[in-house]
């Protein structure tokens, strides 16, 4: 895996993925979601999705996601 990206959040469904994309679209934060396409193709989740963001922007990204109401427990460590 690319060391310049870190694991930040595990979206639970496509609605969370869409919210994350909307929040990050114009921020300049580089990210990708592992297993997103696989889960789009199948009627039930086949594999856990994982948001990976560029290492230097992880705290900024976590703050945005917390502000949007995504699960704090997964993101709290990145906020500080």
Query: Whole-prediction pTM value?
Result: 0.80
Domain ranges of the chain: 5-79
Tokens representing 69? 């109401």
Q: What is the pLDDT of residue 39?
A: 57
Q: What is the pLDDT of residue 43?
A: 59
Separation between Cα atoms, residue 57 and residue 78, nearest integer Å = 10
Q: What is the pLDDT of residue 48?
A: 83
Q: What is the pLDDT of residue 75?
A: 77
Task: Kindly list the strands in the beta sheet with 5-9, ordered across the sheet, starting from the edge strand earlier in the chain.
Answer: 5-9, 50-54, 31-34
Predicted confidence (pLDDT) per residue in 27-79, tens digit: 999 999 988 766 566 655 557 889 999 999 999 999 999 999 887 767 766 65
Per the CB < 8 A criterion, the answer to whether 74 and 10 are in contact is yes
Q: What is the pLDDT of residue 55?
A: 92
Per the CB < 8 A criterion, the answer to whether 33 and 51 are in contact is yes
Q: Which CATH architecture has domain 5-79?
A: 2-Layer Sandwich (3.30)
């Amino acid at each position: 895996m690319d060391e310049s990206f870190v694991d930040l959040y595990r979206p639970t469904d496509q609605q969370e993925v869409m919210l994350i994309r909307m929040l990050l679209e114009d921020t300049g934060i580089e990210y990708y979601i592992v297993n997103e396409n696989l889960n789009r193709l199948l009627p039930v989740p086949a594999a856990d999705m994982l948001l990976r963001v560029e290492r230097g922007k992880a705290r900024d990204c976590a703050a945005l996601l917390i502000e949007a109401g995504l699960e704090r427990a997964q993101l709290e460590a990145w906020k500080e």
